[in-house]
């Protein structure tokens, strides 16, 4: 019941901290209020945005193999669950799953998606957890010894790319322990032509721009932040040396953003860094996962090798 209050408090504290930095930044997890979550679902349908279509194609073609890796009577944990569209391919192929546990920070969006999923899978035990999965969180008990099932994870959508290398390593270490005895199916966006990346994050319809700008609008709605209505614009580009897309909100002019009465001065061209999206090679990501305790398993990529789904075996 008090999650929204905690969430607002966390948002305010993190935004103050990020605005106080010399290079201002805020976590991309704050994109995903109800409006942001809906905008992201629209992004996934855009012609320029290849990751969702690529990943859905892989799930459609190889879900049976992926489900075989997970095994019968699995307790399936989905990190950053969102609209619960992709997991349906696995649920259709899994043998007698014990439970499905979706984790997401956007509570209303998650619960609505769970209600819809339950209608289509009435026999499935669905136990949603509204939480920031990068922070300590509670999960239902593991499958009982002798039940024949394992706890396994699903982290689609290349969301791991939003983490810094250090944050990604922290997540992988956490997941390796949380999924001990099971494994993790994870999506990664692969290194490719920067022109393809630029188009994906600067779509002609302006949906990604609206998604980015909604972060400040959320601060206005929830925290009472004050800033010029047209004071910022969306900027996204590929940083080749760091192998990542960067998204920023760039100030159009000299202005002050007011948060809880505290003024944060922006010069023209100064930015608030809102997201990174790192791109990986398969071998590089497998090596990173191995440092967290995983063993590499099967890999599925599309024919252009733009996107990959990797099975990682957890420690025993």
d(CA 144, CA 313): 20
pLDDT for position 282: 98
- Position 3 confidence tier, pLDDT thresholds 50, 70, 90: very low
Q: What is the rounded average pLDDT of the residues 141-151? A: 87
Q: What is the pLDDT of residues 43-90, one digit of tens each?
A: 999 999 999 999 999 999 999 999 999 999 999 999 999 889 999 999
d(CA 68, CA 221): 45
- Position 148 confidence tier, pLDDT thresholds 50, 70, 90: confident
d(CA 27, CA 153): 23
Nearest CA among 100, 91, 59, 99 for reference residue 187: 59
d(CA 147, CA 165): 37
Q: Is the pLDDT of residue 1 over 80?
A: no
- Return the sign of the alpha-carbon dihedral for residues 58, 309, 191, 282: negative
How is the chain split into domains, by residue range? 3-31+194-278, 50-192+279-313
Contacts of residue 271, defined as CB under 8 A and 6 or more positions apart, other chains included, come to 24, 235, 248, 249, 250, 251
Q: Is the pLDDT of residue 315 over 80?
A: yes
What fold does the segment set 50-192+279-313 form as a domain? Rossmann fold (3.40.50)
4-18, 67-81, 101-115, 126-140: range with lowest mean pLDDT: 4-18
Global pTM reads 0.90
pLDDT for position 9: 83
Strand order in the sheet with 75-79: 129-130, 99-104, 75-79, 151-155, 183-189, 307-313, 295-301
pLDDT for position 2: 38
pLDDT for position 304: 96
Contacts of residue 12, defined as CB under 8 A and 6 or more positions apart, other chains included, come to 223, 259, 260
pLDDT for position 5: 56
Q: Is the pLDDT of residue 8 over 90?
A: no
Nearest CA among 223, 168, 221, 175 for reference residue 15: 223
Q: What is the pLDDT of residues 275-313, one digit of tens each?
A: 999 999 999 999 999 999 999 999 999 999 999 999 999
Average pLDDT over the chain reads 94
């Amino acid at each position: 019941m008090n999650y929204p209050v905690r969430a607002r408090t966390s948002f305010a504290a993190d935004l103050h901290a990020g605005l106080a930095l010399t290079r201002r930044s805020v976590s991309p997890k704050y994109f995903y209020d109800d409006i942001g979550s809906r905008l992201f679902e629209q992004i996934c349908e855009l012609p320029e945005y290849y990751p969702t279509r690529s990943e859905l194609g892989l799930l459609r073609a190889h879900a049976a193999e992926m489900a075989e890796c997970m095994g019968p009577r699995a307790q399936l944990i989905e990190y950053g669950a969102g609209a619960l569209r992709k997991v349906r391919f696995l649920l259709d192929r899994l043998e007698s799953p014990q439970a499905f546990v979706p984790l997401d920070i956007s509570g209303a969006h998650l619960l609505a998606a769970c209600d819809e999923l339950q209608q289509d899978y009435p026999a499935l035990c669905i136990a949603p957890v509204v939480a920031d999965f990068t922070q300590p969180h509670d999960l239902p008990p593991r499958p009982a010894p002798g039940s024949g099932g394992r706890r396994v994870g699903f982290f689609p959508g290349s969301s791991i790319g939003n983490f810094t290398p250090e944050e990604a390593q922290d997540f992988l270490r956490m997941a390796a322990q949380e999924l001990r005895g099971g494994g993790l199916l994870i999506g990664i966006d692969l290194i490719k032509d920067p022109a393809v990346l630029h188009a994906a994050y600067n779509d002609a319809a302006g949906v990604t721009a609206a998604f980015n700008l909604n972060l400040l609008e959320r601060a206005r709605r929830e925290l009472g932040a004050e800033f010029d209505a047209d004071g910022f614009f969306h900027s996204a580009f590929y940083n080749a040396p760091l192998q990542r897309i960067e998204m920023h909100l760039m100030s159009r002019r000299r202005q002050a953003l007011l948060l809880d009465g505290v003024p944060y001065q922006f010069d023209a061209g100064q930015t608030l860094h809102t997201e990174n999206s790192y791109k990986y090679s398969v071998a590089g990501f497998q090596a990173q996962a191995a440092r967290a305790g995983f063993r590499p398993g099967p890999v599925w990529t599309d024919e252009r090798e733009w996107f990959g789904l990797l099975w990682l075996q957890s420690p025993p």
